[in-house]
Structure 1
Amino acid sequence: MARTSPTFRRRRLARRIRQLREASGLTQEAAAAGLDMSTSALSRKETGEVATSVHEVRSMMDLYDVYDPDLLDLARAAKEKPWWHMYGIKKRGYYDLEQEASSVRDWQLNLIPGMFQTEEYARALFSASGSLDDDEVENAVTARMLRRTQLVDEDFPLSYSAVVDESALRRPVGGADVMHRQLKQLVEYAGLPNVSIQVLPSSVGQHRGLDGPFTLLSYADPAEPDILYIEHATGSLHIERADAVSVATLTFERLRATALNTVDSAALVDRLATELWSE
């Protein structure tokens, strides 16, 4: 499964064509006139709101007096549909963000992180949503399981750091058998060299993470900013503002510093799997 995504490519292409225009010394208004399009249309292309065709990229390179074949390849690739569309995953956009990420920092208050969920646990969650029919539930489960291949990618394994509140380990999603297998699998994933799982014990009491879960995604390209992803009842937020990302980063680091270390966390998860969820 390729670690690329059209929407992410579109954003990268948008940033590059904006940089080319700025390097040419043309204003957005002058460039739009030279490309025979409105200024607002060019603006949307330079922010990635709309796609830029291969023909338009060629016209831009002619106008800006530069030739970059990589831009043409990027424009072609941005038109492709991502793999998760096969499973009906078209909303919220997290797959797009994660697929290209080099590292993820995930804070979960109530649930096991999606990346580490078993099929049974994920199925119980999707079924409980009440908004998906049986086929949609199965597609959602399959897509979630496919995400995990990123953790064992031979060339670019995804670095994943998760802090999970202890309450998520005690929440009976799917019943005792499901939870037992889920916690045992969580311990297995904690053993991967590119995975860090820490548990924030209930004894901590109040902490900065009580406002809700969030995910921070970072990218190998230094020009690509970190993204703060927050999911809510009717959709999600993708936030690139440096101030917001900085606050979330500080919050995550404080949660990680307060949580049990990885060894003690794995021991707690394993113990709860037996004490709470074994019949």
Structure 2
Amino acid sequence: MGMNANLSQEEFGRMVHYSASLVSAVDTGTRPLDRVFLARADEALKSGDLLVTLLRIAERDREPSWFKPWLEAERTARQLRLYETTLVPGLFQTENYARAVLRFNDTFSEAEVERQVAARLARQDILTRQDPPQVVVVLDEGVLSRTAEGLSGIMVEQVGRLIELAELPHVHIHLIPRVTGLRIGSSGPFALARSADGGWVGHLEHQLGGAVVDDEDGVAALLARWENVRTEALPRRQSIDLTKEMQAHHEPQ
């Protein structure tokens, strides 16, 4: 990243509370940049939030082209509607859950996994900003019961995170109980974003990535599908109770 020429790595490390060896690792690119490091660097170098902002721009620019329009719609949305059948949505993932999910892609290097984890966590800023969107999420119960060997601790943490978020006034999490069976949403996950001017944009995920839906007929079809899956879901409080049961399911007996 190129440190201030007037500072040694050891001197800079003392300023940002990192060891000289860690500063060297960042400087040479063997350790990925993170927001904590850059926020401290901004403070030490009196650069405002320049470095943190540059990281955010770099992360956005490295996203695949098919995902960028949705990221912009998500960032500026006044309302988000998310439906997931297999995984916790990225906006709600803990760092450990996101890392475990991304590691399932064996084409990603460890550095790429860490970059994508950081980008995913950065997206979550919209949930806690001063003027957050309303976020309504519908999840199949199986999303929370699914696990693998060695991941129970991660799931306890992840489900706990969902419980915390569900208590926020602008976040509504609804579960579709397992007994419901097949329904119109079973064809796959999707998302909808409503902008400040009232227009809707959709996003469909598939195995090769995803696609933005912004034509009138496509958006209407997704809104109709949303009404169906939302109708099948439990009310908010019952959903929180079931989520707490799922957390207990993952805890050591």
Question: Could you tell me which of 76, 85, 109 is aligned with 2:58?
Answer: 85
Instruction: Report the secondary structure of 2:88's partner residue.
Output: coil
Question: Which deviates further from its counterpart, 228-237 or 183-192?
Answer: 228-237
Residue 218 (structure 1) aligned with residue 188 (structure 2) = no
AA at the equivalent of 1:237 = A
Residue 164 (structure 1) aligned with residue 128 (structure 2) = no
1:36 maps to which residue?
A: none
1:250 maps to which residue?
A: 224
CA contact (8 A) 1:199 1:265 kept: yes
Residue 146 (structure 1) aligned with residue 148 (structure 2) = no
1:206–1:86 Cα change, 3 Å: closer
CA contact (8 A) 1:89 1:140 kept: no
2:103 maps to which residue?
A: 127
CA contact (8 A) 2:153 2:250 kept: no
Structure 1 residue 153: deviation in Å? 1.2
Provide Cα deviations, 1:152-184, integer angstroms capped at 9, x if missing partner: 111x21211100001101111661000011101
Instruction: Report the secondary structure of 2:124's partner residue.
Output: helix
CA contact (8 A) 1:88 1:140 kept: no
Provide Cα deviations, 1:51-84, integer angstroms capped at 9, x if missing partner: xxxxxxxxxxxxxxxxxxxxxxxxxxxxx98925
Where does 1:225-236 land on structure 2 (aligned, <5 Å)? 225-236=199-210
Residue 101 (structure 1) aligned with residue 77 (structure 2) = yes
AA at the equivalent of 1:169 = L
1:207 maps to which residue?
A: 183
AA at the equivalent of 2:185 = G
TM-score, normalised with respect to structure 1: 0.66
Structure 1 residue 86: deviation in Å? 3.3
Instruction: Report the secondary structure of 2:82's partner residue.
Output: strand
1:87–1:97 Cα change, 3 Å: closer
Where does 1:53-68 land on structure 2 (aligned, <5 Å)? none
1:81–1:197 Cα change, 3 Å: same
2:10 maps to which residue?
A: none
Residue 274 (structure 1) aligned with residue 245 (structure 2) = no
CA contact (8 A) 2:147 2:155 kept: yes
Question: Could you tell me which of 85, 104, 113 is aligned with 1:137?
Answer: 113
Unaligned runs of 5+ in 2: 1-52
AA at the equivalent of 2:201 = I
1:185 maps to which residue?
A: 161
Structure 1 residue 89: deviation in Å? 3.6
Q: Of the two, which has the highest radius of gyration?
A: 1
User: How far apart are the structure 1 equivalents of 2:85 and 2:188?
Assistant: 6
Number of aligned residue pairs: give it: 197
- Kindly report structure 1 stretches of 4+ aligned residues shifted beyond 3 Å: 86-89, 276-279
TM-score, normalised with respect to structure 2: 0.73
CA contact (8 A) 1:151 1:157 kept: yes
Instruction: Report the secondary structure of 2:241's partner residue.
Output: helix
Question: Which deviates further from its counterpart, 114-123 or 237-246?
Answer: 237-246
Structure 1 residue 221: deviation in Å? 2.3
Unaligned runs of 5+ in 1: 1-79
Provide Cα deviations, 1:185-218, integer angstroms capped at 9, x if missing partner: 1000001111000000110011111100000111
Q: Percent identity?
A: 29
CA contact (8 A) 1:87 1:139 kept: no
Structure 1 residue 88: deviation in Å? 6.3
1:257–1:137 Cα change, 3 Å: same
Instruction: Report the secondary structure of 2:87's partner residue.
Output: coil
Structure 1 residue 87: deviation in Å? 6.7
AA at the equivalent of 2:141 = E
2:27 maps to which residue?
A: none
CA contact (8 A) 1:183 1:273 kept: yes
